Amino acid sequence: MSNAIVHPKGKNNPRGLKDIPFALPEVTQTEKRRAKRIADALQEHYPDAYCELTHSNPHELLIATILSAQSTDAGVNKATPALFTKFKTPNDYAASTPEKIEPYIKTIGLFRNKAKSIHTSMTMVVEDFAGEVPGNMSDLLKLRGVARKTANVVLGNAFKINDGFVVDTHVQRLAWRFGIFDDPKTNTAIIEKKLMALFPRDLWSRLGHQFVFHGRYGCTARPNCKHDHPMCVKFGVNCDKVLPAKNK
């Protein structure tokens, strides 16, 4: 396959991607046709996939997503009701301290560092963004505890903006199992760019949820995967294949 790059401002840039601030890999028509089949199958099996982090506004979603790093959505959802009741606005977090936030999230991994991230990010929201979570990638990435995955979750769900493709452990695993990448340990930044190039922009957020649902409830991590989901049968997914020797 060609290693050529599609540049954001180049004449060959796909429609709707001219504002993407980095180059995307060139993909073949064969790859795009297979990607469409995957997207259609995900829509068939998971038409109602959604963000499973409980929230009622953008700042709650931002906080829940920060908490979800290396933690489960279910675990986050058990902690956030009390947290969101105690701290109702970004101002409430900014006026508090990490130490006062910690007791509400102590059941979540890395809770001390996450308390610092929540306090710092909410303070920035108050001081730099007039108390409103910014609705663009560049500003979201300025907040502590926010990388592209978190920003994509917030943009796609709170603002209905498709500015990237969420890549978590489920998406990373399925991108390999579906043959989009040969290396199961491909860097998440590379995975995101390839998925952005393969799938239509207006589907990025929806597909992110559907990939996660399939990874969480269908094609799960070894050794729990049952290997018999219709999607996996259709696309010849082999969940038992071993890692390449270079990655062992």
Q: Residue 229 corresponds to which amino acid?
A: H
d(CA 120, CA 93): 9
Long-range contacts of 239-245 (CB under 8 A, 24+ apart): 239/177, 243/184, 243/185, 244/182, 244/183, 244/184
d(CA 67, CA 24): 30
- Among 114, 163, 168, 193, the active-site one is 168
Q: Can you read off the two tokens belonging to residue 62?
A: 């931002």
- Among 114, 149, 193, 194, the active-site one is 149
3-state secondary structure 12-79: CCCCCCCCCCCCEECCCHHHHHHHHHHHHHHHHHCCCCCCCCCCCCHHHHHHHHHHHCCCCHHHHHHH
Long-range contacts of 33-37 (CB under 8 A, 24+ apart): 34/179, 35/180, 35/198, 35/199, 37/235
Residue 149 is a catalytic residue: yes
* Helix, strand or coil, per DSSP, at residue 144: coil
Residues classed as catalytic: 149, 168
